[in-house]
Structure 1
Amino acid sequence: MRITMVGTGYVGLVSGACFADFGHQVICVDKNADKIAALHRGEIPIFEPDLDRLVATNVRAGRLTFSTELADPVSKSDAVFIAVGTPSRRGDGHADLSYVYAAAREIAANLKDFTVVITKSTVPVGTGDEVERLIREANPAADVAVASNPEFLREGAAIRDFKHPDRIVAGTDDERARKLIAEIYRPLYLNRAPVMFTGRRTAELIKYAANAFLATKITFINEIADLAEKVGADVQEIARGIGLDNRIGTKFLHAGPGFGGSCFPKDTRALIKTAQDYEAPVRIVEAVIAVNENRKRAMARKVAAVFGGSLRGKTVALLGLTFKPNTDDMRESPSIPLVTALQDLGATIKAYDPEGMEQARSELSDVSYCDGPYECAKDADALVIVTEWEQFRALDLARLKREMACPVIVDLRNIYRPDEVTGHGFQYESVGRRSQPHM
């Protein structure tokens, strides 16, 4: 199968590399000449475990290529995927679809034989209708079907998610498009991955509904964590107690500083705007966003409470900056409002992240970046664990105490046992568990 992937961002590059690994001929196209040049040199613009190896293997095999030109690849392709960004539109929270529509117009001008144009970008309900209208307006003679095929990839586990999906959702009523999409994903049939064919609008809404529901689970357990702290309960045991009910499940019930990243914040906002446009408001999702935004700065007050509410003259060391481990993505990371709130409270900030510091420099100011966790902790009055990188799960607590000016750890991810930390002489604060003064 000949495939063109429009966009070499997170979704486009991972999807293109995986399709090539299935044996398809894939060309990834991007207008950014510097990015394409870097890919030709074997440089991957994002951090995703094993992606560099997957790209290199398929480039060597001749199945994966890169280009800045769209015309020739589209004219020779069986399927063209649109995988460009759909960020929140400045000012109103709607998804910015300008890149999707620009891609649709350019694709239309270069269609030859029957082609399926498939939107993989996360787009509001009705976007596929507009993509089809734009294509037929620009090229009335085109033999084309427009489909929706949303992605469900977790950053840090994207390749496994692509190759071992819970489901594949494809939205189209065109029988030829169904057959072609089924053939594209045929290599996954051995993994028994269910392919769910729906209407195009249904597929578009499935993606938003899934992300909104997961964001709701995160926010729910965070609110329960706050209550657990007040009443002397343990949120981790609560999460396990409710998660063992298979109607609820254990995933996304980990209390923390709130959700961030490239998907949940923008997708929940876009869903709210779509619901408002159709006069069917989603009040639960509106509450989820409000609670999540307030929570991020509330974590700074949690740190300040250890010192009586003020951090004036204090140095706070942050371990982890990205919104989750195994990525370099800083988009809407909880660390951003946390840092600004800590600074507003008077703190001096040091930070270390295994992959995210280069991106963090463009998001955060007046932060001292360190080469490792122990350098970060040196002379700090408090150490705050913000992202649950594996490198932070087995720190030498005795060494940390020697390095720090004051033995305080605020664990916003609950990756340590309270008795283990307090046993080394630390005051230990976590999320949804009782405060643990040092022993």
Structure 2
Amino acid sequence: MSSYILEMKNITKRFPGVLALNNVTFSVKQGEIHCLVGENGAGKSTLMKILSGVYPHGQFEGEIIFEGKEAKFSHIHDSEQAGIGIIYQELALVPEMMVYENILLGHEIKKGISIDIPEMIKKTEQLLRVVHLDVNPTTKIKELGIGKQQLVEIAKALSRKAKLLILDEPTAALNENDCENLLNIIRELKSQGVTCIMISHKLKEVMAIADTITVLRDGQTICTLNKNNATEQLLIKHMVGRSIENIYPPRDIRPIDETVLEVKNWSGIDPKTGRKILQNMSLKIKTGEIVGLAGLVGSGRTELARSIFGNPDGYIVSGEIFIKGKPQHFTHPHDAIKQGLAYASEDRKKNGLILIQTIKDNIMIANLKKISSSIGVINREEEITQANNYVKSLTIKTPSIEQLVVNLSGGNQQKVSIAKWLFVSPKLLILDEPTRGIDVGAKY
């Protein structure tokens, strides 16, 4: 019997105007942790969607061998029944449903003909303890931050007894403690005989956990390395096709003695829960300065940013905001944008982009006035020029600015989100987890 639990041979996948995968070969040994790395748009997520049945047999070329037999998955349920579980880069949770309902969705515990809710809650509590998430199983998903939602997604995957578990950027939204917790969970799964495939842009994480590493670039397999023969610099070279010597280059621009934003005694309460989310926060940022806000998931980083940026969540806030020394009162994000503030959300899918619109439309939407005449007529030529400039400068992988954002990889969607706010030409740009899902070439 082969030592490989999975062999994907000569996989080719096309989308309109895009060759996403070109004759890719990918093999995974039984019981190993195999990391899949590559730039945004390299084809990593597409390859895993083929494996899991999201793109069914017949919509791609090539062959999948799972546990020694050819697999022809026509639906994700087919791959689940075969023993393949997947956690997607973009979370697949139902916001209006409770934690326990999401985790056991489609796998409800029954007592006779009825659903046994107490037993489902008990089972969910056990799974939440495994991922060290302290939330009430009856909490609605929409009330959790993105980091906690990711942990729920992981608990959901663990509830299925998978032989092969695929994790697509599972730690992208997690803090260091939660990342280490997850890596330990993956190691535990390995010790129990579960094979894991993990996609990640965090190369330190890859080097810490992988047994084997495969690099994709431009939809092709570049190499497969044993971890003992790999280094971060070697992986970067294979991923981007060049060496990146200066990961943190020196800054040419230094802050000047001018305060662009000052927040005094800023406090906030979530009216839904009555919980204090911020308490007497004070912050001063100078023009040209880069300020890092750090803290654990739930510490208030996102809440601070969103409450400053026009308070779209309706928090009960108090305190003072000054922009270049002038007091301000924002009742809507539009007010903040007019005063030179911009905010790139941590959750691009929910709050950052309109997925069913084009790249061009998404980049332009926050500042249409810049490309419009005095009577509000949009200059279409200027619109195209500006959109193409941002696609080029941020190396957004797309055949056209008319491509729908929903068809882009997660990392390229993030670049579109950042481009949208750069087009506003802000005095202050607030970036909430901006490198989530961004490859090393784009980061540095």
TM-score (norm 2): 0.31
TM-score (norm 1): 0.31
Which structure's relative contact order is higher, taking Cα pairs within 8 Å and 6+ residues apart? 2
Structure with more of its chain in strand, by fraction = 2
